Amino acid sequence: MEKFTRNKKKDDQDIVWGIRPVMEAIEAGKTVDRVLIRKQLRGALVNELIALIKDKGIHRQYVPESRLNFLTRKNHQGVVAFMSPIEYHDISEIVDRAFQEGRTPRIVALDGITDVRNLGAIARTAECAGMDAVLIPAKGSAQINADTIKASAGAMMRIPVCKASHFIKELEQLKSSGLSIVSCTEKAESNLYASNLSGPICIVMGSEDMGIQPSVLEMSNERVRIPMSGQTASLNVSVSAGVVIYEMVRQITESVG
Superfamily of domain 4-83: Ribosomal protein L30/S12 (3.30.1330.30)
With cut-offs at 50, 70 and 90, classify the pLDDT of residue 9. Answer: very low
With a cut of 60, say whether residue 95 has pLDDT above it. Answer: yes
CA distance 91 to 107: 9
Amino acid, single-letter form, for residue 32? V
CA distance 189 to 227: 10
With a cut of 70, say whether residue 2 has pLDDT above it. Answer: no
Domain boundaries, the chain: 4-83, 91-256
> For residues 57 and 251, which has the higher predicted lDDT (pLDDT)?
251
Burial track 112-144 (b if 16+ CB lie within 10 A, e otherwise): bbebbbbbbbbbbbbbbbebbbbbbbbeebbbb
Q: Which uninterrupted H or E stretch holds 39?
A: none
The pLDDT tens digits of the residues spanning 117-168 come to 999 999 999 999 999 999 999 888 988 888 899 999 999 999 999 999 899 9
Asked if residue 177 lies in contact with residue 205, where contact means CB atoms within 8 angstroms, the answer is: no
| Average pLDDT of the segment spanning 183-207 | 94
Amino acid, single-letter form, for residue 42? R
* Residue/partner pairs of 172-177 with CB below 8 Å, 24 or more apart: 172/219, 173/91, 173/92, 174/91, 174/95, 174/107, 174/202, 175/202, 175/219, 175/221, 177/92, 177/95, 177/96, 177/99
Cα 106 off chain centre by: 15
Concatenating the DSSP letter of every residue in 2-23 gives --EEE-TTTT-SEEEESHHHHH
* Residue/partner pairs of 37-41 with CB below 8 Å, 24 or more apart: 37/61, 37/62, 37/63, 37/78, 37/79, 38/62, 38/63, 38/64, 38/65, 38/68, 38/78, 38/79, 39/63, 39/64, 39/65, 41/78, 41/79
Architecture of domain 91-256: 3-Layer(aba) Sandwich (3.40)
pLDDT at 151 (0 to 100)? 94
pLDDT at 257 (0 to 100)? 61
With a cut of 50, say whether residue 10 has pLDDT above it. Answer: no
With cut-offs at 50, 70 and 90, classify the pLDDT of residue 13. Answer: low
Q: Quick one: which of 80, 105, 97 has its CA closest to 175?
A: 105
